[in-house]
Amino acid sequence: MASGLDPTYVSLLGLAQSFMSLRPPDVKGALRCLQAVFSLRPRDPVVECRTHLQVGQILRRETKNQDMARQHIEQSVRAYTSTGPGVI
């Protein structure tokens, strides 16, 4: 991870990953951690982009909520194209 990232973001990301490492994975806990990133209103568009992508991937893999997964992945793509290639 980049050293310039907010430690709160990094902590929430690690916690979300820990929830997904459990057997069975705690999808709800992981999604709550990732949603908390949005409540912090990250200034870095890369953080927003990556978080939307992670939420979308979890929803796509672990739930039946494919529409919401698609929305998060599309938001990630929009954030990525607004920041420019090579940023992530």
> Positive or negative CA dihedral for 15, 18, 20, 25?
negative
CB atoms within 10 A of CB 75: 17
CATH classification of the domain holding 29: 1.25.40
Mean pLDDT by 10 residues, the chain (88 residues): 73 95 96 93 84 95 95 91 64
CA 61 to chain centre: 14
Give residue 55's pLDDT: 96
Q: Flag whether 2 is in a domain.
A: no
Domain that holds residue 65: 7-82
For residue 4, the 8-state DSSP code is T
Place of tokens 């953080």: 47
> pTM for this structure?
0.83
Instruction: Report yes or no: 34 and 16 within 8 Å, Cβ to Cβ.
Output: yes
**How many domains, in total, are found in the chain?**
1
